[in-house]
């Protein structure tokens, strides 16, 4: 069924949200495939965002691990992470739909910054909704968004974090969709967002495939990515789903790992349910109330996950694991010292799983970790965490 991945996905939304969702779906079918759209997007990706990104071999870690570790360098993109692949795609689509304003949610602020930059570049207005907790925690990203011309609204309802910001943005969209597009930040939410975001992020996996062929004339043995809402991961995974020999590995955030701690591991520890218009795996208590999520990496801090991941997990095509805060931090330090690359704390979860499970990969194999973002934004958190130890 349209908008479903097996039994996950769908459009569990109030009736008033259906007209804007249908309008996006129509634009996806009629505008997105056109030559003009594709040419303009490719030009922006190349000359504004900095694509294509390199596939970097890690000589020191490869020697130690006994197989080839490669990094897909989304950290080198404009605004510091993969988010801009999606915001440029949706921003351009919105512009061609005749919209004048982008609205978006943000948690850590990375998606807000990418959306604000995109809006500025495309001559659109920008309004960002952010939980009051996050506004306080991520003040430098709030300043970046404002500098880029965005209006930032602080959302005080609920736990005043990402899930509440999404609710508020969906509400705002209902009353403003004539002129606004909701630039959803990850491969979750109601149909068509999981598919739309995946289409724009799949450039990651496509480039990885081409680069691997160019370097080794073969496919990688495994692709690995961190999973928050799931956009960088599905972008890496999707072009490999039909390549049976390629192992697909998603890594969630386990939080501190102490008994009873909150995590962001919706697939590995959650249960099926509905959140933000989408049937997927969720962190919820016995009565079905959404549980607070936690991770040292703010970008993974979401109690749900995209429906396509829930399905890839259920069918067994992809495997999902989780990594604790401290182990992600150790992997980050290791990559800095060994290869001279400071990864985002989010991406460090994917790297940590590979570093902890070298026996899981054959000698001489090629393993690609998606480096979804750079770690400069995490310096305060890294400093605090290292001081505590």
- Fill in the per-residue mask, 72 to 101: x = in contact with ligand PLP (CB under 6 A), - = not in contact: ---------x-x------------------
Can you tell me which residue has the tokens 């997007």? 41
Q: Write out the binding residues for ligand PLP, residues 132-191 only, by CB under 6 A.
A: 186
- CB atoms under 10 Å from CB of 315, counted, come to 11
Based on CB atoms, which residue is closest to ligand PLP, 10 or 185? Answer: 185
Please name which of 192, 277, 267, 260 lies closest in space to residue 228, comparing C-alpha atoms: 267
> Binding segment for ligand PLP among 10-18, 91-99, 221-229, 278-286 (CB under 6 A)?
221-229
Q: Write out the binding residues for ligand PLP, residues 22-51 only, by CB under 6 A.
A: none
Catalytic residue among 82, 181, 238, 349: 82
d(CA 141, CA 130): 11
Residue 300 lies near ligand PLP (rule: CB under 6 A): yes
Using CA atoms of 5, 231, 105, 272 in order, give the dihedral in degrees to the nearest 10. Answer: 40
- CB atoms under 10 Å from CB of 242, counted, come to 8
The secondary element (H helix, E strand) that includes residue 105 is strand 101-106
107 close to 165: Cβ distance less than 8 angstroms: yes
d(CA 155, CA 169): 10
Nearest approach, Cβ of residue 80 and ligand PLP (Å): 7
Please name which of 216, 264, 235, 233 lies closest in space to residue 365, comparing C-alpha atoms: 216
Among 230, 255, 273, 303, binds ligand PLP (CB under 6 A): 230
Q: Give the phi and the psi of residue 371 in degrees, each rounded to 5.
A: -90, 90
Residue 348 lies near ligand PLP (rule: CB under 6 A): no
Q: Give the phi and the psi of residue 187 in degrees, each rounded to 5.
A: -85, 50
- Fill in the per-residue mask, 353 to 372: x = in contact with ligand PLP (CB under 6 A), - = not in contact: -------------------x
166 close to 157: Cβ distance less than 8 angstroms: no
Among 53, 141, 180, 231, binds ligand PLP (CB under 6 A): 231
Q: How many residues bind ligand PLP (CB under 6 A)?
A: 19
82 in active site: yes
261 in active site: no
Nearest approach, Cβ of residue 174 and ligand PLP (Å): 24
Nearest approach, Cβ of residue 185 and ligand PLP (Å): 7
Residue 299 lies near ligand PLP (rule: CB under 6 A): yes
83-96 vs 193-201: helix crossing angle, rounded to 10: 120
Among 189, 229, 270, 304, binds ligand PLP (CB under 6 A): 229
Nearest approach, Cβ of residue 288 and ligand PLP (Å): 23
The secondary element (H helix, E strand) that includes residue 37 is helix 35-44
Residues in touch with ligand PLP (CB under 6 A): 81, 83, 110, 186, 226-233, 299-300, 344, 346-347, 372-373
Residues with catalytic function: 58, 82
């Amino acid at each position: 069924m349209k908008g479903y991945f097996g039994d996950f996905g769908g459009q569990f939304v109030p009736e008033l949200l259906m007209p804007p969702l249908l309008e996006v779906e129509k634009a996806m079918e009629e505008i997105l495939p056109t030559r003009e759209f594709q040419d303009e997007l490719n030009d922006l990706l190349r000359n504004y965002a900095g694509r294509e990104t390199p596939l970097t071999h890690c000589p020191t870690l490869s020697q130690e691990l006994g197989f080839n570790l490669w990094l897909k360098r989304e950290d080198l993109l404009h605004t510091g992470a993969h988010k801009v692949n999606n915001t440029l795609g949706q921003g351009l689509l919105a512009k061609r739909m005749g919209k004048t304003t982008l609205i978006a949610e943000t948690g850590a602020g990375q998606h807000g910054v990418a959306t604000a930059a995109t809006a500025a570049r495309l001559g659109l207005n920008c309004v960002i909704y952010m939980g009051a907790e996050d506004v306080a925690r991520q003040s430098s990203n709030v300043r970046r968004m404002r500098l880029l011309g965005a209006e930032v609204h602080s959302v005080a309802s609920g736990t005043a974090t990402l899930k509440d910001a999404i609710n508020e943005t969906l509400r705002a969209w209902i009353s403003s969709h004539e002129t606004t597009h909701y630039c959803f930040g990850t491969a979750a939410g109601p149909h068509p967002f999981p598919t739309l975001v995946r289409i724009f992020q799949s450039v990651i996996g496509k480039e990885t495939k081409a680069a691997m062929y160019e370097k080794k004339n073969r496919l990688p043995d495994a692709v690995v990515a961190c999973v928050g809402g799931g956009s960088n991961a599905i972008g890496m995974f999707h072009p490999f789903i039909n390549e049976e020999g390629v192992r697909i590995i998603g890594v969630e955030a386990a939080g501190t790992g102490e008994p009873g701690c909150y995590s962001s591991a919706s697939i590995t520890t959650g249960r099926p349910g509905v959140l933000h218009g989408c049937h997927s795996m969720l962190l919820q208590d016995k009565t079905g109330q959404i549980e607070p999520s936690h991770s040292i990496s703010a970008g993974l801090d979401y109690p749900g996950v995209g429906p396509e991941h829930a399905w890839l997990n259920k069918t067994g095509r992809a495997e999902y694991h989780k990594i604790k805060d401290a182990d992600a931090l150790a992997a980050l330090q290791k990559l800095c010292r060994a290869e001279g690359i400071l990864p985002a704390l989010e991406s460090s979860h994917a790297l940590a799983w590979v570093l902890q499970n070298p026996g899981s990969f054959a000698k001489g194999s090629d393993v690609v970790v998606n480096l979804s973002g750079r770690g400069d934004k995490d310096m305060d958190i890294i400093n605090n965490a290292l001081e505590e130890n």
